[in-house]
Amino acid sequence: MTPTPKPSRAPVPSKTVRVRPKAPEPTPTYRSLEKTYLVRNKIYSAGRVPAVTCAVPEIALRTRKEVQQYASAVLGCLQRAWKPVVERSDVEFTSAKVYAVNAGSTTRCGILTKEVGGFYCADGSGIYLDWRGLVEDDVYNRVWAGVYLQYTMAHEFGHHVQQLVGISEYYDERSERIKGARGLQEMRRHELQASCFASAFLGANQQTLGLYDAKLQAYRDAAYSGDDDPPASTPDHGSRESSTAWANAAFTSQSPSACNTWSVPAGKVT
């Protein structure tokens, strides 16, 4: 007996669940990113600068070779100290280089003039120093000369830190559209921050660098100097009052958290 085939059931259509597509997140504007990288940069919450072993040579700064040797030793200290801080800011650390050169030398960022004395060049991450402006023949002033070179290196390396964590990129963009007195104020925020980073490093490494007594006073002479001491033709690095305030805060805290020059009123960056 042939069984009677049962009629097949029509397939039940699957239920389609319609999900409303999420609206695309707005792309941050360049100016909103400025605030993120300048005012709320992760470097401010990255913790204190560590103390490291700084074996700077006991040499008199009289020749280009000696300036290069001393500056290279200080650079090694700076890189070991700042590397973990930069990495805690979720940024890859890359090294800088230092060059003791003659005033008038051509660098990747233009000519190093005697008036400038030294600068940081982001192209190649180079610190260029006019070595003749850093030598000292007077034996009584050699302590001051060594500490001044330490401070100069720490300030220029502060610009390297700014470059690594994105501060300099957004400062550069801002400086393209802000001119005049407001533009000078922005320059002072940038320069005072580099000086503040320098003092955070030197405060953290006060012991290993022996910044006490005459050396501590030499550091203060360098860190507290400002555009008004003596009066500068362009007030772009900060007054003695502002320089002193930022230096003291950073030297005591030993942290870049004390260096947010972008979030304060104009009166703090005179």
pLDDT at 11: 44
Predicted pLDDT at 173: 87
In 10 A of CB 160, how many CB atoms? Answer: 28
Give how far Cα 156 sits from Cα of 14, 22, 70, 127, Å.
Answer: 67, 46, 15, 7
CB 245, CB 188: distance < 8 Å:
no
Give buried/exposed letters for 69-83 (b at 16+ CB in 10 A, else e).
Answer: ebbbbbbbbbbebbb
Q: Per-residue confidence at 29, pLDDT binned at 50, 70, 90?
A: low
CA distance linking residue 41 with residue 221, whole number of Å = 30
Read off the pLDDT of each residue in 35-64 and give the average, rounded to a whole number. 95
d(CA 132, CA 151): 16
Model-level pTM? 0.88
pLDDT of residue 235: 93
Q: Token digits for 63?
A: 């020749």
Q: Of how many residues is the chain composed?
A: 270
The pLDDT confidence band at residue 85, using thresholds 50, 70 and 90, is: very high
* Non-local CB neighbours of 259 within 8 Å, separated by 6+ positions: 44, 193, 196, 197, 200, 246, 249, 250
Q: Would you call 212 helix, strand, or coil by DSSP? A: coil
Peptide bond preceding 230 in cis form (omega within 30 of 0):
yes
What average pLDDT does the segment 119-136 reach? 96
pLDDT at 82: 98
pLDDT at 7: 41
Residue 22, pLDDT score: 54
Per-residue pLDDT for 169 more than 90?
yes
Question: 142-164 vs 64-87: helix axis angle to the nearest 10?
Answer: 40
For residue 39, pLDDT beyond 60: yes
| Beta-bridge partners for 101 | 130
Q: Cα separation of 181 and 225, whole Å?
A: 21
CA 250 to chain centre: 13
The rounded Cα 131 to chain-centroid distance in angstroms is: 22
Cα–Cα distance measured from residue 89 to residue 31, given in angstroms and rounded to the nearest whole number: 21
